[in-house]
Amino acid sequence: MKILKRLVETVKKDKDVLAVLVFGSYARGERYSDIDVCIVLKEKMKNLEMSRKKLYYISSFPLDIHIFQQLPLYIRIRVLKEGKVIYCKNMDLLYDTAIKTIKEFEDYKHIYYSYLEGVLNG
């Protein structure tokens, strides 16, 4: 898709971007779906800087763009499970980010699943 190629060409020039993944219905191959894009930034960025980065990309591309580090943990896990990497500057750093996220979820998942059970059972 042309818009994704344009996005990749833009992020290649951005020193703060580590990787770009597509996820959601588009990544699953569903027809006529929106395109969910997740931009993984280098780790040591402040939240305000990440928000500015997101604003730049969402104002430049008609896509549903998210910053990985700003997503809730359970969504980050979903991105890692179902996402497809369309661009990566450094696969080792992306793996490190994934491993760190998975470890964080392992520490948190009992709380998350307990919450979901409480919601389902009232």
In tens, the pLDDT along 25-57 reads 888 888 777 899 999 998 788 999 999 999 999
CATH topology of domain 2-121: Beta Polymerase; domain 2 (3.30.460)
- Specify the pTM: 0.86
Say which residue, 114 or 48, is predicted with more confidence.
48
Give the model confidence (pLDDT) of 57-101 as tens digits. Answer: 999 999 999 999 999 999 999 999 999 999 999 999 999 999 999
pLDDT (0 to 100) of residue 35: 92
pLDDT (0 to 100) of residue 25: 86
pLDDT (0 to 100) of residue 6: 97
Residue 29 zone, left/alpha/beta (φ > 0; ψ -120 to 50; rest): left
Residues 6+ apart with CB under 8 A from 18: 40, 41, 42, 88, 89, 90, 93, 94, 97
- Domain ranges for the chain: 2-121
Say which residue, 3 or 32, is predicted with more confidence.
3
pLDDT (0 to 100) of residue 13: 97
